[in-house]
A = this chain, B = another copy of it.
Amino acid sequence: MTRFFETHREMLDKALQAARERGYWSPYPEAPSGRIYGETAKDDGEAAFTARLGNLFDLSGHPSNGKVVGKETSPYGLPLEITYPAADIAQLISGSKEAGAGWASATVEDRVGVCLEIIHRINRRSFEMANAVMHTTGQAFVMAFQAGGPHAQDRAVESVAYAYAEMSRNPATAVWSKPQGKHDPIVLDKQFRIMPRGIAVTVGCATFPTWNGYPGIFASLATGNSVIVKPHPSAILPLALSLDIGREVLREAGFDPNVLLLAADEAGAEMTKDLVQHPDVEIVDFTGSNAFGQWIRANAGSKLVYTEEAGVNSVVIASTDNFRGLCGNIAFSLSLYSGQMCTAPQNIYVPREGIETEDGHKSLDEVAQGLKTAIDKLLGDPMRASGICGAIANPVTIERVKQAGTLGEIVRASEPIEGQEAARTATPMLLKVDAAQSDTHLEERFGPISFIVAADSSDDAIARAAASARNKGAITAAVYATDDATLDKAADAFSHAGVSLSCNLTGNIFVNQSAAFSDYHVSGANPAGNACLTDAAFVANRFRVATIRRPAAA
């Protein structure tokens, strides 16, 4: 039974070390390469995905009320027509509770071993997952492979490593020997048991179902809780696939597979609220909107709630010695997955009087034009544009883009991508506003909508961007400046606002990117979320310690 733990022990040790040192480390190669994943892996993955189309996703032994649900449609236009077993909440809760008893009694090593084996097997099926993520979220294939596959798996391993570190720092036993002067000491044998909370629910999101879902799922699972996964109705497949693999490993290891359950539903008939409020649910992980995040925080009672909500991310351009690199870098950040990332910038603050560059002074309009030109060049080739922008997950986002033209002066209009007529696509829209006269940019405009915001000065830009982060939430910020004084000011202001700051990015690294084992994703210190992927606070409260003490035998 400790076979899986031993198999992955060396990897776990490296993960623990990486989490302490926070340099670069990844257990899973991010390249969608046949040399790594097997020469037939790409074709096999696509075939496995295709075989599911139009069929019931069978989760053998899963609770069911006899009905099926599922109305996913690909943002690329492909009809999926996959259905999933539906279960009533009472069935899910009782199934989860029943399965949870044995799981709670397992050793820490057995549970951690099972978790790592699940992640390992998910990794082997990264090409199949890439298809599933692509055709539910609209991410382009390579991004779906990376963000939905190895990068999500990294975050999963990270959360298991943190959970293991927290559980194993408590000794299983201790001898407590209290001196009594001339008399014999009082000696107690103590036993400390890791007790899980009970049932955990993970509420998935529409854009990064695995990357955002795995940390909560695996942190709860490793700490001994049974987990019910409630995917977004538009992105069930990636999580169903993950659960199917997980249930297979649980079964092999001698556990009830219902330790992992799927709460599939459809838009308009979501079971999320009833599930989150069920008295037997002890832990809720949520990724999604501020509005629903607030509802959960207000209605979950004394349950543990971990949220990643939304925010308004900013870039401050104060000065640069590489204007072309700056424009290219920001253009990519705005274009990647058409801005549908919680880490994508929305507002680009520029001093009203312009900035200094290696080519001398650039006016505000020249900066705006530089960005526009960089986006145009980046997306000039429709195939490349499609590979960067992917498709739009939610039709509402297309509507939002259409109506955004009135929010400011249009610097660059959003357009569909040529040759992608079957897909929902939209390239970045760039608007210009003045912070002294407008506040439309202060609301989150999810999708490929961004604003060049004129500010009084670079100090004013930093102050406004940091205030916006404190008030509306933000996960990332970027600053460009050639002087340390401005960089230091930005570092202080954004740190206080709980925002992760990137400085002077011009190369092949982007503010949107958050690397497991190094970047703390979401600070938990502003309205963009109350938790961080992954730190000790994210895992340490998912279990409790029970003590049993008795006098030592004389």
Q: Is A197 an interface residue (CB 8 A)?
A: yes
| Candidates B180, B491, B505; contact of A551 at CB < 8 Å | B505
| Contact-size category for A | 35 or more
Closest 7 CB pairs between A and B? Answer: A503-B550, A495-B546, A537-B541, A537-B540, A525-B544, A536-B540, A22-B174
Interface string of A507-550 (1 = CB under 8 A from B): 11100000100111001110000101001110011001111111
Q: List 13 A-B contacts (CB under 8 A).
A: A178-B509, A186-B507, A195-B523, A498-B546, A505-B551, A506-B551, A520-B547, A523-B545, A525-B544, A525-B546, A532-B545, A535-B540, A536-B536
Could you say which residues of chain B place their CB within 8 Å of the CB of A532? 544-545
B548 touches A176 (CB 8 A): no
Distance in angstroms between the alpha carbons of A494 and B545 in the assembled complex: 12
Q: A476's closest neighbor in chain B, by CB?
A: B547
Could you say which residues of chain B place their CB within 8 Å of the CB of A170? 22, 535
Distance in angstroms between the alpha carbons of A260 and B24 in the assembled complex: 40
A176 touches B515 (CB 8 A): yes
Distance in angstroms between the alpha carbons of A117 and B47 in the assembled complex: 67
Distance in angstroms between the alpha carbons of A46 and B24 in the assembled complex: 60
Please indicate which of the listed interface residues A195, A495, A506 has the most CB atoms of chain B within 10 Å of its own CB.
A495
Q: How far is the CB of A249 from chain B (nearest CB, A)?
A: 26
Could you say which residues of chain B place their CB within 8 Å of the CB of A22? 170-171, 174, 176, 190, 192
Q: Please name 16 further chain A to chain B contacts, defined as beta carbons within 8 Å, in addition to the given A166-B536, A506-B551, sorted by A numbering.
A: A23-B174, A24-B179, A178-B509, A186-B507, A195-B496, A195-B525, A302-B530, A496-B546, A498-B544, A501-B549, A519-B549, A523-B546, A525-B544, A525-B546, A536-B540, A537-B540
Q: Is A21 an interface residue (CB 8 A)?
A: yes
Could you say which residues of chain B place their CB within 8 Å of the CB of A546? 494-496, 498-501, 523, 525
Q: Restricting to A62-81, which residues have a CB under 8 Å from any CB of B?
A: none
Q: Is A193 an interface residue (CB 8 A)?
A: yes
Could you say which residues of chain B place their CB within 8 Å of the CB of A550? 487, 502-505
Q: A502's closest neighbor in chain B, by CB?
A: B549
Chain A residues within CB distance 8 Å of chain B: 20-24, 166, 169-171, 174-180, 186, 188, 190-193, 195, 197, 297, 302, 487, 491, 494-496, 498-509, 515, 518-520, 523-525, 530, 532, 535-537, 540-541, 544-551
Could you say which residues of chain B place their CB within 8 Å of the CB of A544? 498, 523-525, 532
B24 touches A176 (CB 8 A): yes
Distance in angstroms between the alpha carbons of A502 and B541 in the assembled complex: 24
| Candidates B20, B523, B547; contact of A171 at CB < 8 Å | B20
Q: A19's closest neighbor in chain B, by CB?
A: B169
Please indicate which of the listed interface residues A21, A496, A541 has the most CB atoms of chain B within 10 Å of its own CB.
A541
Q: A165's closest neighbor in chain B, by CB?
A: B169
Distance in angstroms between the alpha carbons of A186 and B507 in the assembled complex: 8
B495 touches A548 (CB 8 A): yes
B525 touches A197 (CB 8 A): yes
B23 touches A177 (CB 8 A): yes
Distance in angstroms between the alpha carbons of A21 and B520 in the assembled complex: 29
